[in-house]
A and B are shown apart, each in its own frame.
Chain A
């Protein structure tokens, strides 16, 4: 198991946002978390990446305990989050954003490796190459999402956490982004994907969890959830 979460509870002041959540992500998988607004999906990812401290439970990456580590330490262990709402560095150029994605190994001896990585990402997202010098805050929403993903990939993550990559994007762009995710996964990146767009998420995922008001209420292979009547009624529009 690459990531193993047991009994995870996170509170904001005294309000529980996650209640004893158990989640497993095997190496090489795409695992999806679906759920309504306010279900605690973002809280789950923020807790994993150290932005929010859990009140109880464990988060293990292989045999490393991630609980209580600072976000920058967790990134160094190979877990990178693409946060909700992109959160690119809006006042910096696209290229600067990419360089900062590789912040942790930004040493001179890695310079050519970083260049190669940027070229690879440009092939994946050609628009970013054309926009390289543009201030990132002026990119369109879809371009910003691509940049956010590309920035995360610059850090060579073993586990990629994505918080609603499809939010606010046109169906064609969503399709592009999901096909990139599938390709990344085929190349060996394990993905934990939080989505409101349940159909798209379940289509590319191997396994999925349904989160409702902070608790996992349903889990199973993604294909089975797609056919589950409860999931159909609540998340797939009947």
Chain B
């Protein structure tokens, strides 16, 4: 039998009590399964949270279109790879590139034209853009979810009684890759340092000759590219449809808040923690509340600890890897 490890089905469902009482090994392996799937979806939340932070650090904008980048990544990839039949190695960078172009347009058409912007106006502009993108996506790809072939097949690897889809490994791998690339970018390149400088003090940055507008554009490019990557690698696991962006944005935002807005290590940790909570909550409590966990956590944090679980106000201002 061929498993369709759709995300919604994966390891999540009502737990048969009688089994739990009889076979503790099954329970442990089931728990392991929740952990693995939680970390997988958590990696995606981390990527969305990283995308939020990159733009937030340079502009203080919460880009609510961040989730649309993920959705677009998945669906553009569907068109290039499945419909047009382009090879994975060509379609992947091409899809990322196209979504990045949307990120450029978002900056050029929605953010930059606003004169005397307040952060709130800009955030509203990103919300408007996300509605527009979602509508366009519905016209192009319809309302049905689309699938992508997994990068290296769907033969599950068994691991202490749990199963790992090969695609999960791709997800983990890409999270590591993104973290490594961003760390090198911010630590080793002058462009990365210039971006940190803008985040730190835009006026002072322009006084050393940094073009702040160009750095804002670069932040949109990086965020869009990371979002698109997340969408491409998650679609073979969870499918993708036009209206997935908003929920992904909420989850990613919750992860970013959880880790302390602006902190990259926080984004990674926050995403993984959120994924785990969701997966364990859905598995052990009820899958019906899966999406509610993120919202509850978000609300609780905003009420009690707006600087994030991992940070105090001071730490959350340190905006670098």
Contact B204 A87 (CB under 8 A): yes
Contact B190 A103 (CB under 8 A): yes
Q: Which residues of B contact A151 (CB under 8 A)?
A: 208
Complex CA–CA separation, A155 to B209 (angstroms): 9
B210 at the interface (CB under 8 A from A): yes
Q: Of A50, A80, A100, A155, which one neighbours B194 at CB under 8 angstroms?
A: A100
How many residues in B have their beta carbons less than 8 Å from beta carbons of A? 22
Complex CA–CA separation, A199 to B258 (angstroms): 53
Q: Which residues of A contact B317 (CB under 8 A)?
A: 91
Contact B208 A87 (CB under 8 A): no
- With A87-B201, A91-B318 in contact, is A70–B190 under 8 Å at CB? no
- With A91-B318, A91-B319, A92-B193 in contact, is A103–B200 under 8 Å at CB? no
Q: Which of A87, A103, A106 has the most CB of B within 10 A?
A: A103
Contact B204 A88 (CB under 8 A): yes
Q: Which residues of B contact A103 (CB under 8 A)?
A: 190, 194, 208-210
Q: Of A72, A83, A88, A96, which one neighbours B193 at CB under 8 angstroms?
A: A96
A99 at the interface (CB under 8 A from B): yes
Contact A70 B203 (CB under 8 A): no
B30 at the interface (CB under 8 A from A): no
Contact A83 B203 (CB under 8 A): yes
Q: A63-81: which residues lie under 8 A (CB-CB) from chain B?
A: 70-72, 75-76, 80-81
Contact B196 A99 (CB under 8 A): no
Contact A99 B190 (CB under 8 A): yes
Q: Which residues of A contact B206 (CB under 8 A)?
A: 50-51, 70-72, 75
Further pairs besides A50-B206, A51-B206, A106-B190: 11, Cβ < 8 Å: A72-B209, A75-B206, A75-B207, A87-B207, A90-B200, A91-B196, A101-B208, A103-B190, A103-B210, A104-B209, A155-B209
B261 at the interface (CB under 8 A from A): no
Q: Which residues of A contact B208 (CB under 8 A)?
A: 75, 80, 100-101, 103-104, 151-152, 154-155
Q: Which residues of B contact A81 (CB under 8 A)?
A: 207
B197 at the interface (CB under 8 A from A): yes
- With A90-B200, A155-B209 in contact, is A99–B320 under 8 Å at CB? no
Q: Which of B199, B200, B212, B320 has the most CB of A within 10 A?
A: B200
Q: Which residues of B contact A152 (CB under 8 A)?
A: 207-208
B211 at the interface (CB under 8 A from A): yes
Question: Taking beta carbons and an 8 Å cutoff, which residues of A are in contact with B?
Answer: 49-51, 70-72, 75-76, 80-81, 83, 87-92, 96, 99-101, 103-104, 106, 151-152, 154-155
Complex CA–CA separation, A99 to B194 (angstroms): 10
Chain A residue nearest to B318 (CB atoms) is: A91
Contact B207 A51 (CB under 8 A): yes
Q: B252-276: which residues lie under 8 A (CB-CB) from chain A?
A: none
Q: Of A71, A92, A99, which one neighbours B200 at CB under 8 angstroms?
A: A92
Q: Which residues of A contact B320 (CB under 8 A)?
A: 91-92
Q: Which residues of B contact A71 (CB under 8 A)?
A: 203, 206-207
Complex CA–CA separation, A50 to B319 (angstroms): 27
B204 to chain A, nearest CB (A): 4
Q: Which residues of B contact A104 (CB under 8 A)?
A: 208-209
Q: Of B193, B204, B211, which one neighbours A70 at CB under 8 angstroms?
A: B211
Complex CA–CA separation, A106 to B211 (angstroms): 14
Complex CA–CA separation, A81 to B203 (angstroms): 11
Q: Which of A92, A152, A155 has the most CB of B within 10 A?
A: A92
- With A99-B193, A100-B194 in contact, is A72–B210 under 8 Å at CB? yes
Q: Which residues of B contact A99 (CB under 8 A)?
A: 190, 193
Contact A76 B209 (CB under 8 A): yes
Chain B residue nearest to A148 (CB atoms) is: B204
Q: Which residues of B contact A106 (CB under 8 A)?
A: 190
Contact B319 A83 (CB under 8 A): no
Contact B200 A91 (CB under 8 A): yes
Complex CA–CA separation, A152 to B207 (angstroms): 9
Q: Which residues of A contact B196 (CB under 8 A)?
A: 89, 91-92, 96
Q: Which residues of A contact B205 (CB under 8 A)?
A: 89, 100
Q: Which residues of A contact B210 (CB under 8 A)?
A: 72, 100, 103
21 pairs of residues in contact across A and B, judged by CB atoms under 8 Å: A49-B207, A51-B206, A70-B211, A71-B203, A72-B212, A81-B207, A83-B203, A87-B203, A87-B204, A89-B197, A90-B201, A92-B196, A92-B320, A100-B197, A100-B205, A100-B210, A101-B208, A103-B209, A104-B209, A154-B208, A155-B209
Q: Which residues of A contact B319 (CB under 8 A)?
A: 91
- With A91-B318, A104-B209 in contact, is A83–B204 under 8 Å at CB? yes
Q: Give a binary string over B175-207; 1 marks a CB under 8 Å from any A CB, 0 the rest.
A: 000000000000000100110110111011111
Complex CA–CA separation, A103 to B205 (angstroms): 10
